């Protein structure tokens, strides 16, 4: 197999499951989904600047560590289990930080942070996995790496940075700078620790190492499942609380119940007017989030105007 053909096969083979992981994370933001271009931007940040920075900083740290420890194996071990997780998570967190700083009025909380963080992590994991697979010299070794890194542990980078994103989301609702910093730093430390534990498991030989890595990954999946349930419940509570006074003047009673109380939240893809209903749900979710932002954080130089704009658009919606 030529290098070009191997690269093409590898890119497709990694992209397919990675797209599934990204779509799965996107469903966390069920009612007010983030624009696709921002998700792509977070992915690209993880794939290019974060990967490049990680390589550069790791190389910079390696030389003094080797000189200090006096042994190449010890330096490599410390880089893999301590330095690399810290450097990679800090650099990947840059994508969430940019969204947090550049689009604060659209950064609605921990669900948005989780989604942006996961996308940055998937970008990093995509490039890293392609690199590992391209280093394989036989089909058996390629397949072994693929099954382990892409299928079994393919979600890991997304999960780690999603934890950091949750911290940014919590900080979004804090007025006290110290509490904002504590939320971000605390979740970043959790991400680094989870990443480090996984790498330690991969470094250990025998069944002990595999057990550590699998238990760590299993805990990650459990946490993500809990966060998924929590995200859905929180979104419904927000809709019910902040849209209750919008019916019947802005929303009809039927639309309010469809969005807030039905099983599918007005987003059943088998509905004959599904696309229009999806737009209605998006507008309602944006209105509820803006009212929540105003209640928690004040006008923030734009919340009041945006609330009125959304109300006017909903008033013009064809009530059926």
- Output the pLDDT for position 320: 47
pLDDT greater than 70 at residue 146? yes
Taking residue 224's Cβ as centre, other Cβ atoms within 10 Å add up to 19
The three state secondary structure string of 42-84 is HHHHHHCHHHHHHHHHHHHHHHHHHHHHCCHHHHHHHHHHHHH
Query: Over the stretch 201-258, which tens digit does the pLDDT of each residue have?
Result: 887 766 666 777 778 778 888 888 888 888 888 888 888 888 888 888 888 888 888 7
Q: Is the dihedral of CA 275, 240, 27, 53 positive or negative?
A: positive
Q: Using pLDDT thresholds of 50, 70 and 90, give the confidence band for residue 318.
A: low
Q: Which residue has the higher pLDDT, 31 or 4?
A: 4
Query: Distance from CA of residue 219 to its chain's centroid?
Result: 17
- Tokens 């490049």 correspond to what residue? 52
- Output the pLDDT for position 208: 67
- Output the pLDDT for position 269: 46
Q: What is the pTM of this model?
A: 0.85
Rounded alpha-carbon distances, angstroms, from residue 296 to 88, 108, 291: 33, 11, 9
pLDDT greater than 60 at residue 308? yes
Q: 28-32, 34-38, 43-47, 56-60: which range is least confident on average?
A: 28-32
Q: Which residue has the higher pLDDT, 276 or 117?
A: 117
Q: What's the full length of the chain, in residues?
A: 320
Q: Name, of 23-37, 40-54, 59-73, 294-308, the range with top average pLDDT.
A: 40-54
- Tokens 């096969």 correspond to what residue? 9
The three state secondary structure string of 88-136 is HHHHHHHHHHHHHHHCHHHCCCHHHHHHHHHHHHHHHHHHHHHHHHHCC
Q: 16-30, 128-142, 159-173, 254-268: which range is least confident on average?
A: 254-268
Q: Using pLDDT thresholds of 50, 70 and 90, give the confidence band for residue 109.
A: confident
Query: Over the stretch 53-99, which tens digit does the pLDDT of each residue have?
Result: 999 988 888 778 777 777 777 778 888 888 999 999 999 999 999 99
Give Cβ neighbours of residue 263 (< 8 Å, ≥ 6 apart): none
Looking at the chain, the whole-number percentage of residues with pLDDT higher than 70 is 91
Burial class (CB in 10 A: 0-12, 13-18, 19+), 45: buried
Tokens of 319: 């009530």
pLDDT greater than 70 at residue 265? no
∠ Cα 172 173 175 (to 5°): 100
The Cα 35–Cα 247 span in angstroms is 27
Q: Using pLDDT thresholds of 50, 70 and 90, give the confidence band for residue 33.
A: confident
- Output the pLDDT for position 120: 96
- Tokens 């419940």 correspond to what residue? 233
Average pLDDT over residues 39-63: 91
């Amino acid at each position: 197999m030529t290098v070009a053909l191997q690269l093409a096969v590898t890119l497709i083979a990694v992209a397919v499951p990675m797209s599934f992981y990204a779509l799965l994370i996107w469903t966390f933001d069920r009612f007010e989904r983030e624009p696709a271009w921002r998700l792509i931007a977070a992915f690209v940040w993880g794939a290019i600047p974060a990967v490049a920075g990680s390589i550069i900083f790791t190389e910079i740290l390696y030389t003094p560590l080797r000189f200090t420890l006096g042994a190449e194996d010890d330096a490599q071990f410390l880089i893999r289990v301590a330095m690399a997780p810290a450097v990679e998570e800090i650099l990947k967190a840059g994508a969430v930080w940019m969204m947090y700083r550049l689009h604060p009025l659209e950064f609605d909380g921990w669900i948005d942070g989780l989604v942006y963080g996961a996308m940055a992590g998937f970008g990093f994991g995509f490039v890293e996995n392609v690199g590992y697979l391209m280093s394989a010299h036989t089909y058996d070794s390629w397949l072994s790496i693929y099954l382990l890194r892409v299928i079994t542990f393919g979600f890991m980078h997304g999960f780690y940075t999603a934890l950091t994103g949750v911290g940014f989301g919590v900080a979004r609702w804090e007025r006290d700078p110290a509490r904002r910093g504590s939320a971000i730093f605390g979740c970043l430390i959790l991400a680094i620790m989870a990443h480090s534990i996984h790498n330690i498991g991969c470094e250990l030989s025998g069944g002990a190492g595999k057990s550590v890595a699998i238990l760590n990954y299993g805990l990650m999946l459990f946490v993500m499942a809990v966060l998924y349930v929590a995200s859905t419940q929180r979104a419904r509570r927000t809709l019910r609380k902040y849209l209750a006074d919008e019916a019947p003047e802005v929303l009809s009673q039927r639309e309010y119940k469809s969005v807030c109380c039905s099983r599918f939240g007005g987003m059943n893809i088998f509905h004959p007017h599904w696309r229009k209903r999806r737009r209605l749900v998006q507008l309602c979710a944006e209105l509820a989030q803006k009212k929540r932002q105003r209640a928690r954080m004040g006008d923030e130089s734009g919340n009041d105007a945006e609330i009125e704009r959304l109300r006017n658009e909903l008033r013009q919606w064809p009530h059926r």
